[in-house]
Amino acid sequence: MKVCKFGGTSLASAEQMRKVASIIRADQERRIVVVSAPGKRFKEDTKVTDLLISLAEAALSNGDVEDALRLVVSRYEQIALELKLSVEIIDIIKEDLAARLTMKDDGDREFMDLMKASGEDNCAKLFSFYLQSLGVEAEYIDPKEVGLLVSKEYGNAQVLPEAYENLHRELRNKEGILVFPGFFGYTPEGTLITFPRGGSDITGSIVAAAVEANLYENFTDVDSVFAANPNVVQNPVEIKELTYREMRELSYAGFSVFHDEALIPAFKKGVPVSIKNTNNPGAPGTMVVNERNYMINPVVGIASDSGFSTIYVRKYLMNREVGFGRHLLEIIEDEGLSYEHMPSGIDDTSIILRSSQLTLEMEQRIVQRIEQELQVDDVHVEHDFAMVMVVGEGMRKMVGITAKATTGLARAGVNLHMINQGSSEVSMVFGVKTEDADKAVRELYNDFFVPTKSPVH
């Protein structure tokens, strides 16, 4: 059994849905299809999810719901009309949206999750209806009925352990094609809650793990994962194979193929993942596996992500002060902040975190507390940093990787503000100013992937 997930661009129009149906019918092992909400048809278009957010906001503010609702319904109507489907499916979608709109008094966050999830839910209903019109035995699956149970964290649902047993029992032996909406589940009490961004990828991974699929195919709009961002590096090489750990590191560092948590369920169950292109399904794509041959290339990709700030702290003999680090992190915790990296020296340390978490008031409060409570010699906050990451599980077995990277960055005139290598040695992280990030990525790519460069010995 294969579980296939199709992203928003793969389901944005009738033409795209025809391609998806053709892909499914080409392989009888493709039994479970996880769908996203219809995405953009062209660059200036609006995703259905964004239309639904506008609709929910209009309802909550007692604004013009009718126009916002019409925009949502028209997307489904156009697809249904071009697929020559009966009006029955549009009536079903209209009734569903009308019923959801009556629930705006249940709480803003609950209502917003309920409205956003209708994009995937109604897409699954429409697509299963389309498959049936082609004579395919297909069935829409309601996540509530099959027990996809999640925690009550609005917009950030975590799957509950019992969900896997429920899904295995309910889905494994069903006949025909099962069309499963991505992005959401239900609490044990019956409240709909959505996953974080990339939620349909998370759903697909959960379902693949639950049914113990022999392959989880994730269809998107690119032939494969690339070794660097094509918007930064011209014609980067395709990655044929990488490990779950490498994929997670690359996703964390800005690769948009997967949310960095999406593959964890499949990883834990050992289900291999294939990333393929809906518009070119014959391309080999990229395989995400437990282990790969690291000797072919110890480095698998170069990534970067911007939007970081650094809290720099200096105190003489900091290393001898018992509890200093704990107290420092307690101050960060009291502000409800999470940090990304914490490189340290003998007398100084830096806490690197996402700038989006900080406000000016919060910064001032943190600096004041560190000064007063830890009696430091210096503390200040700097902004506009990017994290450039070199990823590859083979790095720990190869001598000279770090030297090669730092030499290349120096040659390119990129000033390094931080170097951090995790204990797993899957990645090396370089902190640079945001303005230098693209230059750093291009230089590192040339060092590790352009054949004219001398190899690492």
Instruction: Name the binding residues for ATP.
Output: 5-8, 220-221
User: Which of 434, 440, 456, 455 lies closest to 406, judged by CA?
Assistant: 440
Beta bridge partners of 312: 350, 380
Under a CB-based contact definition with an 8 Å cutoff, are residues 259 and 243 in contact?
no
Question: CA nearest 11: which of 104, 107, 90, 127?
Answer: 127
Extract the annotated binding site.
5-8, 49, 120, 220-221
Of 242, 218, 233, residue with least CA distance to 427 = 242
Is residue 44 exposed (0-12), middle (13-18) or buried (19+ Cβ within 10 Å)?
Answer: exposed
Q: What are the binding residues for substrate?
A: 49, 120
Decide if 109 contacts 56 (C-beta within 8 A). Answer: no
14-25 vs 65-82: helix crossing angle, rounded to 10: 50
CA separation for the pair 200, 184 (Å, rounded): 8
Q: Give yes or no for a contact between 138 and 131, defined as CB atoms under 8 angstroms apart.
A: yes
Query: DSSP class of residue 416?
Result: P
User: CA–CA distance from 60 to each of 71, 168, 194, 231, 366 (Å)?
Assistant: 17, 38, 18, 38, 35
Please report the DSSP string for 117-171 in residue order: HHHHHHHHHHHHHHHHHTT--EEE--TTTTT-BB-S-TT---B-THHHHHHHHHH
Assess contact for 205 and 217: CB atoms under 8 A: no
Strands 177-181 and 138-140, sheet pairing = parallel
* C-alpha closest to that of 382 among 413, 415, 410, 409: 415
Angle between the N-to-C axes of helices 65-82 and 48-60, in degrees from 0 to 180, rounded to the nearest 10: 150
* Own/partner long-range contacts of 91-99 (Cβ < 8 Å, ≥24 apart): 92/122, 92/125, 93/122, 93/125, 93/126, 96/121, 96/122, 96/125, 97/55, 97/69, 97/72, 97/73, 97/122
Q: Which two tokens stand for residue 126?
A: 């429409």
Tokens of 72: 């949502």
C-alpha 307/C-alpha 310 separation (Å) is: 10
CA-closest candidate to residue 304, choices 433, 153, 412: 433
